């Protein structure tokens, strides 16, 4: 009963409302320089090769850890250490997205590219500040719920910047769509103004310290060997999920499903399944702890790939497709909620911007680099064997769980001394 009451208090708090809208502000720019922008360029009859190269505009998201120490080391003279950076980047994004409305994709492609890169850079900086704010403001009991609520806001933003923007583009000029999206960024500004300030933590004494100390502190606190193994674990934990996600659309198209089928079921229904999974994951995590959640959700995340294995044998079957997409996306949402909470728990609040940016970039290594050979593997093995390989790819990460997330850890193993009763609950010690 005490846990249920605590859970209701956690989800109903002011900071959770702020995290929902900050997650929304974090997710909104991504598709506006991605698939939505590519749709606009396609309508304007821009060369397909040029459209393909525009994927590089998103490079700042993968490189953000290079300038993340600035967010730790510099406190702006308004709204505190984290919210000052949030509001600055959100105002910058509203302006940059509005400027995009006046671009001419066919006539001035270079200006469009520069505009897109600027949006990506400011958006990646907002992500650094938002991740740091979330890490700093959440208590241990709130980490699962906070991760889930932030993911919910992020996914809703993808619907707005993706599906809604494309629907509106059939009814109004693209310039009006981008101006509207720029106005919607005001939601993030409003959320930042109302968001509670995290507890005061002394920042690094200098910019040099901000660049050097976060990495030294992490390796010193964990021990060099243990820290390296943690980084390996972070890279591998969602590898099976990343391999599968990278190839689901080609698989569904080759199986005979139409683009409309995929858009409605995988993007629409699947997105809802991910949101439900993330919220459920946050709730369950608050009840059983981070450690046990990593076990349960990691196993479910791997086993859920069997749904695609069976679909590969059945062939074009809409009921099987709906089940496969919803099962995999729901379990992926569960795993993401636990994994984000785990990453937050590894950060020292003095350096949370830099340390979280570094750790989250390792997830991108799994998603973008290690999963890249997925197409070649599927081509050489066939789809059924490929999906079994995605399950096997999840096993190395699961085998490391006894080291980093023992099912019944002792307080000393958590490397967070002085845990109170509620903090012990969230780690799964009790």
> Residue 315, CB half-sphere, CA atoms under 13 Å: how many?
0
Identify the pLDDT of residue 181.
93
Q: Work out the burial of residue 63: count CB atoms within 10 Å of its CB; fewer than 13 is exposed, 13-18 middle, 19 or more buried.
A: middle
Q: At what angle do helices 270-288 and 2-11 cross, to 10 degrees?
A: 130
How much is the pLDDT for 206?
Answer: 67
Q: How many CA atoms lie within 13 A of 163 on its CB side?
A: 15
C-beta separation of 150 from 23 below 8 A? yes
Give the pLDDT score at 416: 39
Dihedral pair phi/psi, residue 197, rounded to 5°: -80, 135
What pLDDT score was predicted for residue 414? Answer: 41
pLDDT profile of the chain (430 residues), mean per 10: 51 77 90 79 73 72 79 79 89 94 83 90 90 79 76 84 78 89 91 81 68 77 81 84 76 74 70 81 79 88 90 86 87 83 79 76 67 75 88 89 74 40 39
Tokens coding 357: 């940016």
Q: Given this model, what pLDDT does residue 52 score? A: 62
Residues whose CB is less than 8 angstroms from the CB of residue 409 and which lie 6 or more positions away in sequence, other chains included: 291, 427, 428, 429
**C-alpha 318: how far from chain center:** 29
Residue of 428, 426, 429 whose CA lies nearest to 146: 426
Distance between CA atoms of 411 and 184, rounded to whole angstroms?
45
């Amino acid at each position: 009963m005490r846990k249920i009451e605590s859970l209701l208090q956690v989800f109903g708090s002011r900071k959770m409302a702020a995290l929902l809208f900050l997650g929304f502000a974090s997710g909104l720019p991504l598709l506006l320089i991605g698939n939505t922008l590519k749709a606009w360029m396609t309508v304007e009859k821009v060369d397909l090769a040029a459209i393909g190269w525009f994927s590089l505009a998103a490079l700042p998201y993968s490189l953000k850890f290079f300038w993340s120490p600035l967010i730790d080391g510099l406190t702006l003279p308004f709204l505190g250490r984290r919210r000052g950076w949030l509001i600055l980047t959100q105002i910058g994004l509203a302006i940059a997205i509005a400027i995009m409305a006046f671009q001419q994709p066919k006539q001035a492609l270079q200006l469009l590219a520069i505009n897109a890169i600027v949006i990506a850079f400011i958006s990646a900086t907002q992500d650094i500040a938002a991740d740091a704010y979330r890490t700093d403001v959440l208590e241990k009991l709130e980490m699962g719920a906070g991760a889930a609520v932030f993911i919910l806001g992020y996914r809703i933003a993808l619907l707005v910047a993706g599906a809604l923007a494309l629907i509106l583009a059939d009814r109004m000029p693209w310039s009006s769509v981008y101006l509207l999206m720029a106005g919607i960024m005001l939601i993030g500004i409003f959320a930042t103004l109302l968001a509670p300030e995290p507890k005061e933590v002394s920042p690094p004494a200098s910019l040099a310290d901000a660049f050097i100390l976060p990495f030294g502190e992490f390796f010193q606190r964990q021990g060099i060997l243990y820290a390296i193994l943690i980084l390996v674990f972070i890279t591998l934990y969602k590898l099976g999920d990343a391999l599968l996600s990278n190839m689901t659309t080609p698989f569904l198209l080759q199986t005979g499903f139409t683009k409309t089928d995929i858009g409605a079921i995988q993007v629409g229904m699947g997105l809802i399944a991910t949101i439900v999974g993330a919220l459920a994951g946050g709730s369950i995590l608050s009840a059983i702890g981070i450690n046990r959640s990593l076990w349960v959700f990691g196993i479910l995340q791997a086993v859920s790939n069997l749904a695609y294995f069976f679909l590969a044998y059945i062939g074009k079957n809409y009921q099987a497709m709906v089940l496969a997409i919803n099962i995999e996306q729901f379990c992926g949402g569960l795993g993401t909620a636990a994994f984000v909470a785990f990453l937050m728990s590894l950060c020292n609040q003095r350096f949370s911007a830099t340390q979280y940016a570094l750790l989250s970039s390792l997830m991108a290594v799994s998603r973008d680099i290690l999963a890249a050979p997925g197409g070649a593997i599927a081509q050489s093995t066939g789809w059924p064997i490929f999906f079994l390989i995605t399950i096997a790819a999840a096993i190395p990460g699961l085998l490391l769980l006894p080291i980093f997330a023992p099912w019944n850890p002792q307080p000393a193993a958590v490397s967070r001394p002085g845990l109170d009763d509620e903090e012990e609950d969230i780690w799964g010690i009790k």
